[in-house]
Amino acid sequence: MKTLYLDCFAGISGDMFLGAMVDLGVPFETLKAELTKLGLDHEFEIEMRRDEKLGIFGTKVDVIDLNASHSHDHTHDHTHEHENHHHDHDHNHGDSHTHEHENHHHDHDHNHGDSHTHEHEHHHHDHDHNHGDSHTHGHEHHHDHLRNFADIKGIIEGSTLSKSVKEKSLKIFELIAIAEGHVHGKPSDEVHFHEVGAIDSIVDIVGAAICLEVLEVDEVLASSIEVGEGFVKCAHGLMPVPAPATAEILSGVPILSKVKGYEMTTPTGAAIIKAIVSSFPSDKAMRIEKLGYGLGTRNLNIPNVLRAAFIESKVSDAKAQWILETNIDDMSSELLVYAEERLLAEGALDVYKTQIIMKKGRPAIKLSVLVKSTDMEKIQRVIFEETTSIGLRKYPVDKVKLDRTYEKIETKYGQVTLKTAMLDGEIVNIKPEYEDCKRLAIENKVPIAKVYRAIDELKR
């Protein structure tokens, strides 16, 4: 199993994730070629370069919005290129005079000798610099083609991207759409929001799904996510860090706020984490096989990079499954049966219930669920949604399985699948599949025991 670990000590954004994946081994030309399948080549360009942050070398990926670059209207004598993408929302708003707008290739230190105020209309991506004087900066990036979630679903579903890339991309987009819709009080499909509508976010998100497929990643783990701390000025006034949509997306995810004065994780970065990470282990006992670094834009007093690694985790392939357990003593048995059905429908490998006596002599049920590590988050959600549990235990399990083969045989009642288990090449058990026997008994209106006897006669 190929496990990817994301060390988000400086947060995460879409372009940082792409940079880390290219640094880990995704061929940049392959990424570009796959992105052409969106049919949006006329709207963007994607660039890559090697660079460093505080001595750490890695890969910087930039998405260039061609519509925005053609619409900049500079009506004053001095030209400022604020190609500062959404990728680093780390504006220091504690000083109304000096803002370092980092361009893709170099830094612009704007030291205004007067009281010019930079008001960042903080729609996650669009930085509208209002200088409080007659200078006109046409950087609002209000594209005529700004899209909503429904538009983007149509683009992705109508593309020639692979099924897995489509599914993963839409999962990430949906997380942002739901969060933005909740923040703005609108259905997710109807929200015209900058985070998903901007072309750079579309490329970042679809690109992330492409990279995971190219690298054949089976499982993604992550550290706690650095989100930053402070306030950012937006169209509605001062907003806390993390921004409302980011906070909504990261619900249930462990976060840190060690970097003061900056927004370190964007909604796109948050949604990538929420969509692909199966767990956030506090124990970092792992063996690193390969490292990659994706660079952010701004220069900070810490390396502004996303560190990604292929690891051999201490949980081996044999332990890629987990048991989730919770004790329940205050729930209707009917509702518990429904919860079991939901868990199995969502991908639980097994669900079983054990009668137990809890403290103070209370009779209860221990609900145990066997899950793949990649399904753990959604199964936990079902447990909390469909039962009265307010906490659970989880631990990895070893599994030892016999080799097995399957063959279909024809009985007088119909076709049945036989499962044969073998130990060191010797047959130790042959068993018909119960669901097949049940189906034939119902179809033929005979007791199920007769179906089993018919199978036994053929086995002799």
Instruction: Please give the residue that has the higher pLDDT: either 185 or 435.
Output: 435
**Residue 125 located in a structural domain:** no
Any idea which of 3-17, 233-247, 335-349 has the lowest mean pLDDT?
233-247
- Which range marks the domain in which residue 377 is found? 319-397
**Residue 157 located in a structural domain:** yes
Q: What is the per-residue pLDDT for 450?
A: 94
DSSP 68: H
Same domain, 156 and 190: yes
Instruction: Please give the residue that has the higher pLDDT: either 75 or 39.
Output: 39
**Residue 354 located in a structural domain:** yes
Q: Based on the structure, what is the number of domains in the chain?
A: 3
Residue 295 has pLDDT above 90, yes or no: yes
**Residue 108 located in a structural domain:** no
Q: What is the per-residue pLDDT for 284?
A: 75
How high is the mean pLDDT of the chain? 81
Same domain, 236 and 373: no
Q: What is the pLDDT of residues 102-143, one digit of tens each?
A: 433 444 443 433 433 333 334 444 333 333 333 333 333 344
Same domain, 239 and 360: no
Q: What is the per-residue pLDDT for 412?
A: 93
Any idea which of 101-115, 163-177, 320-334, 366-380 has the lowest mean pLDDT?
101-115
The confidence band for 407, taking pLDDT boundaries of 50, 70 and 90, is: confident
Same domain, 164 and 236: yes
CATH number, domain containing residue 329: 3.30.70.1380
Contact at 8 Å (CB) between 98 and 109? yes
Q: What is the per-residue pLDDT for 120?
A: 38
Residue 77 has pLDDT above 70, yes or no: no
How many Cβ atoms from other residues are within 10 Å of residue 377's Cβ? 17
**Residue 115 located in a structural domain:** no
Of 251, 283, 313, which closes a domain?
Answer: 313
- Span 161-167, mean pLDDT? 93
Distance from chain centroid for Cα 286: 22
**Residue 211 located in a structural domain:** yes
Any idea which of 110-119, 140-149, 301-310, 434-443 has the lowest mean pLDDT?
110-119
Q: What percent of the chain has pLDDT over 90?
A: 57
Contact at 8 Å (CB) between 17 and 276? no
Same domain, 366 and 278: no
Residue 88 has pLDDT above 60, yes or no: no
Q: What share of the chain is helix, strand, coil (3-state, %, to 5)?
A: 35, 30, 35
Contacts of 386 (CB under 8 A, 6+ apart): 335, 338, 339, 342, 343
Residue 2 has pLDDT above 90, yes or no: no
Same domain, 333 and 308: no
Same domain, 420 and 330: no
Q: What is the per-residue pLDDT for 194?
A: 53
β-pairing verdict for 3-7 and 219-222: parallel
Of 298, 313, 328, which closes a domain?
Answer: 313
Q: What is the pLDDT of residues 17-49, one digit of tens each?
A: 999 999 999 999 999 999 999 999 999 999 999
Same domain, 158 and 264: yes
Same domain, 200 and 257: yes
Q: What percent of the chain has pLDDT over 70?
A: 78
Contact at 8 Å (CB) between 397 and 370? yes
Contact at 8 Å (CB) between 266 and 91? no
How many Cβ atoms from other residues are within 10 Å of residue 460's Cβ? 4
Residue 315 has pLDDT above 80, yes or no: no
Same domain, 227 and 348: no
How many Cβ atoms from other residues are within 10 Å of residue 196's Cβ? 30
Same domain, 149 and 206: yes
CA-CA distance, 5 to 17, in Å (whole number)? 12
Inter-CA distances, 359 with 319, 362, 367, 380, 387, Å: 31, 6, 17, 24, 20
Same domain, 298 and 389: no
Of 369, 397, 425, which closes a domain?
Answer: 397
**Residue 112 located in a structural domain:** no
- Whether pTM > 0.75 for this model: the answer is no
Instruction: Please give the residue that has the higher pLDDT: either 117 or 158.
Output: 158
Contact at 8 Å (CB) between 267 and 246? yes
Q: What is the per-residue pLDDT for 145?
A: 55
Buried b / exposed e over 325-341, threshold 16 CB at 10 Å, is ebbbeebeeeebeebbe
Q: What is the per-residue pLDDT for 398?
A: 76
The confidence band for 52, taking pLDDT boundaries of 50, 70 and 90, is: very high
Q: What is the per-residue pLDDT for 71?
A: 52
The confidence band for 232, taking pLDDT boundaries of 50, 70 and 90, is: confident
**Residue 292 located in a structural domain:** yes
